[in-house]
A and B are shown apart, each in its own frame.
Chain A
Amino acid sequence: MANIEHTVSVPPAKYSIAHLKHQPRRHYGRWLAAALIILALAMIVKAFAQGQIAWPVVGQFFTAPAILAGLWNTILMTICAMALGLVLGVVFAIMIMSPNPVLKYVAVFYIWFFRGTPLLLQLLLWFNLALIFPTLGIPGLFEMRTVDFMTPFMATLLGLGINQGAYTAEVVRGGILSVDNGQIEAAKVIGMTRLTMLRRIVLPQAMRVIIPPVGNEVISMVKLTSVASVIQYAEILRNAQAVYYANNRVMELLIVSAIWYLAVVTILSIGQHLLEKHYSKSLGRRTGKRTEPAAAEGV
């Protein structure tokens, strides 16, 4: 490398063009693609503008009491069902990793059953539980009629929450398995019991792996609550339907619902992004490389 002069055999004149200005390549294909897409978009916008949508009606019902009440019920159910799903997910993830075969196989069965049947079917099962169990309770302690307990809210909560738990259990299990065994041994040798170790060492580290998929599932949950309209839970889509059965403004009310779903999901996506950033900040320093894809994958 040092004696490069001796290896150069071409005359120096060939290198005299090095001062010329560089011209970037022109991307005609990109211009063409962009033009086609913009044309298509313009046609769609024109179609909607000329379509028989009464936009004032959309504006009028956007903040109607029935719609806002439905929106609140959607948000409330998302929070409650997700909370139930997370608690069940952690419990069943720990059970499935237990050395106790009874705990383990009960958890395996739970995940198998609730991931293996459609959510809609599960909601109908909960809602119609009174058909097979007219009363619920612990014999001798308390008892109540199933129809009084299994309101649309309870049936939806149990249906969505228990279903979510089965998915979250797998996510949490993956997160726990991602924690290096050396961390567990280090916790043991400073005298930690299993529960302390789980709380102080394993779960905080598993969070980095658990947060992105759970964030996605919260977003799915917002939309899944709409399925509960079939069992009369008064979430936003069901209330929108109730309104359009009365006034026949079907598309307008569906658009109102769609805008609200998009608004909620957009806010949640921003929250998810911030949460992931937080966890990759405190946990990700171990290996900068490993956190990058997880953070980029998000949303």
Chain B
Amino acid sequence: MSAMVVAVDVNKYFGPFHALQNVSLEISHGEVLCIIGPSGSGKSTLLRCVNQLERIDSGAIWVDDELVGFRQEGNKLYELTDAEISRQRLASGMVFQRFNLFAHMTVLENIVEGPVIVQKRAKSSVIPEAMALLERVGLADKKDAYPSELSGGQQQRIAIARALAMQPKLMLFDEPTSALDPELVGDVLSVMRDLATSGMTMIVVTHELGFAREVAHRVVFMDRGRIVETGTPHDILSSPKEKRTQDFIAAVLS
């Protein structure tokens, strides 16, 4: 099975802060990978490097065998133009912690915006697809609502539908349930569970250890900009080898 995402020796600095330290990672087609770790560990930064919301300072990332953000010429890597970066971003869909639905658009307008404006597809073929996606996340009746009229859980499910409307090869989730009231988390997780079952490649940064245990094929534990431990959900969550992982799991479960 070929790799969907490969990261090799990725380093990222924010000023003097070394946010990612020689991070290497490989994710296969159809794999669901959960990244866990304390805040400030670099897990969100790693995710944001995959779709170039952050620029890496050294190392290299490939998405579906395409080098991300650079073009190789001889023994140098040249930075791509904005237009090329925008095109590369189409490979992945992203769901944010704070939903970030377009506030001035209705639910349906949010979903068709990308396919119609960016991918230049005909509105007449996009709208039925968008409705099918709304059906899938259980919110077809909200198509004409504005984001501010919806609960956080509903907004996040719309955000997932918006990302899927671009027909990405890979879905990135950046703490998708962290900003939700506890009773709304279940609906969002169930949409994500369905998506995993459908064979979508997913990278999920999350604090939901239950979700990781149930859905992930593999779990990565990060701390202070490094990958500390990688393994099956059972390995990492039930019998972690590293002391830092043990402490983190104990702290989250307590």
Contact = CB atoms under 8 A, between A and B. Distances in A.
B149 A285 contact: yes
Given A193-B82, A200-B113, A200-B117, A188 B89 contact: yes
Interface stretch (A72-80, A178-186, A221-229): A178-186
Contact of B53 (A183, A189, A194, A287): A189
A198 B117 CA distance: 13
B57 to A, nearest CB: 18
Interface in A166-191: 180, 182-183, 185-191
A286 B148 contact: yes
Nearest to B51: A189
Contacts of B166: 190-191
Contacts of A186: 96, 100-102, 159
Contact of A192 (B86, B96, B159): B86
A283 interface: yes
Q: How large is the interface on A (under 10, 10 to 19, 20 to 34, 35 or more residues)?
A: 20 to 34
Interface residues of B, number: 32
Contacts, number: 75
Nearest to A187: B102
B104 A282 contact: yes
A188 B172 CA distance: 14
Given A196-B118, A286-B103, A191 B96 contact: no
A182 B148 contact: no
A286 B147 contact: yes
Interface string A268-293: 00000000000000110111100000
Interface string B144-159: 0011110000000001
Which one of A180, A186, A193 has the greatest number of beta carbons of chain B within 10 Å?
A186
Contacts of A193: 82-83, 86
Contact of A285 (B89, B146, B159): B146
Nearest to B87: A191
Contacts of A283: 103-104
Contacts of B96: 182, 185-186
Contact of A191 (B98, B100, B102, B114): B114
Given A194-B82, A205-B103, A287-B148, A188 B117 contact: no
Interface string A54-80: 000000000000000000000000000
List the 7 shortest-distance A-B pairs measured between CB atoms, nearest first.
Answer: A190-B114, A186-B100, A182-B100, A286-B148, A285-B146, A189-B94, A286-B103
Given A189-B53, A193-B86, 17 more contacts: A180-B103, A182-B100, A186-B159, A188-B53, A190-B90, A190-B93, A190-B166, A191-B87, A191-B114, A191-B118, A193-B83, A282-B104, A283-B103, A283-B104, A285-B148, A286-B148, A287-B148
30 contacts: A180-B100, A180-B103, A182-B98, A183-B100, A183-B102, A185-B53, A186-B96, A186-B102, A186-B159, A188-B89, A189-B89, A189-B92, A189-B163, A190-B113, A190-B118, A190-B162, A191-B89, A191-B114, A191-B166, A192-B118, A193-B86, A194-B82, A200-B117, A205-B104, A283-B103, A283-B104, A285-B103, A285-B147, A286-B103, A286-B147
Interface of B: 51, 53, 82-83, 86-87, 89-90, 92-94, 96, 98-104, 113-114, 117-119, 146-149, 159, 162-163, 166
Interface of A: 180, 182-183, 185-194, 196, 200-201, 204-205, 282-283, 285-288
